[in-house]
A = this chain, B = another copy of it.
Amino acid sequence: MSSNSTFFRVSRRALLSTFAALSALPTVLALAQNAAADDQPAQGDPLPSWNDTETKKAIVAFVDRVTKQSGPDFVPEDERIATFDNDGTLWAEQPMYSQLLFALDRVKVLAPQHPEWKTKEPFASLLRGDVRGALAGGEKSLMPIVAATHSGMNSVEFNQIVRDWVATAKHPVTKRLYTEMVYQPMLELVAYLRTNGFKNFIVSGGGIDFIRPWTERVYGIPPENVVGSSGKVKFEMPDSEPVLMRLPEIDFIDDGPGKPVGINEHIGRRPIAAFGNSDGDLQMLQWTKGAGGVRFALLVHHTDGEREWAYDRKSSVGRLDKALDAAQANGWTVVDMKSDWKSIFPFGNK
């Protein structure tokens, strides 16, 4: 990926802003059913895709401690809040964030309505197929793309646009649907926690409305349990029909130090377990562990270049550097994908 770093450095932070929604997948995926079939008590091994390493033992030991009613570390069900990052933690984020691909696809779809884009950057480069050139200006290049693709329509319309996209969009490397690019061990972990009375939330740097429509089917996490970045919206009633218009303005960036803020605003409780994979998750894990009591912080370390992608300290997508240092200094749990995960994706490996 290194030769692409300029290209991909165009940033999370800039992309993390307007956005909204990809819900009911027309095809119910087998993996969605796996995740949704969660309400029975676990029979046998609840984490079959995890190798029997220290990582798995740490997860099970934590859950046992906080759910043992007579134990000193018991946490009532209401307070069993678990928060999960999405990109790189629950599904693949390489070679680039799915939401960026969504935005680029939308520019192509919208181009016929915007003849002026033929000579206007960053659209002109993009439409010539020069994605790297189009995004070379970083946030300044990306913001017009985000504005053009994530605002100007109402919330219901955007929801449908995202649903339509996610129903067919394929991962550029594996050619699988994005909703198949989820980590089987994490699906099992989400279900395992739910079975043990946890309330699972997604806390993503991605757009809240881009994620919500498909999380219930894919992860068994309902829309109201999704926290993410958002753009401003405005209530209007043209012709007595109420709509929420999406404005080309950032409202909230749910990344890095924004994650504890988003958690506080949306959930109003402090998580007892948090799961991430990059520096954007550092403060969420600090906030979770900082509460005292038995708390669990886990980082997914992408160490498997064969079956998935190997990247950490120098990656422009999903950089894991400071958070890895913090994990080592504080004894947080770090998943070594290569040795801890028996399988990666529901369909196998990359």
Contact surface of A with B, Cβ cutoff 8 Å:
78, 81, 155, 199, 208-209, 212, 216, 222-226, 230, 233-235, 237, 241-242, 244, 251, 257-258, 260-261, 264-269, 283, 286-287, 290
Contacts and interface: CB of A to CB of B under 8 A. Distances in A.
A290 B216 contact: no
B223 A244 contact: no
A316 to B, nearest CB: 24
A209 B269 CA distance: 11
Given A222-B78, A265-B230, A269-B224, A235 B199 contact: no
Contacts of A268: 208-209, 212, 223-224, 226
- Number of identical protomers: 2
A22 to B, nearest CB: 12
A66 B257 CA distance: 42
A264 B261 CA distance: 18
30 contacts: A81-B224, A155-B264, A208-B265, A208-B268, A209-B268, A223-B267, A224-B225, A224-B266, A224-B267, A224-B268, A226-B268, A230-B265, A233-B261, A233-B264, A233-B265, A234-B257, A235-B257, A235-B258, A235-B261, A235-B283, A237-B286, A241-B290, A242-B260, A242-B283, A242-B286, A244-B260, A244-B264, A244-B287, A251-B265, A266-B266
A237 to B, nearest CB: 7
Contacts of A242: 260, 283, 286-287, 290
Contacts of A226: 268
A266 to B, nearest CB: 6
Nearest to A268: B223
Contacts of A237: 286
Contacts of A264: 155, 233, 244
A241 B286 CA distance: 9
Nearest to A283: B235
A153 to B, nearest CB: 14
Contacts of A222: 78
A261 B223 CA distance: 15
Q: Which 9 A-B pairs have the closest CB atoms?
A: A223-B268, A235-B257, A242-B290, A212-B268, A224-B267, A235-B260, A242-B286, A242-B287, A235-B283
Nearest to A286: B242
A321 to B, nearest CB: 17
Nearest to A236: B257
Contacts of A266: 224, 266
Nearest to A223: B268
A74 to B, nearest CB: 17
Nearest to A213: B268
Q: Which of A155, A268, A287 has the most CB of B within 10 A?
A: A268
A244 B264 CA distance: 9
A106 to B, nearest CB: 21
Nearest to A267: B224
Contacts of A209: 268
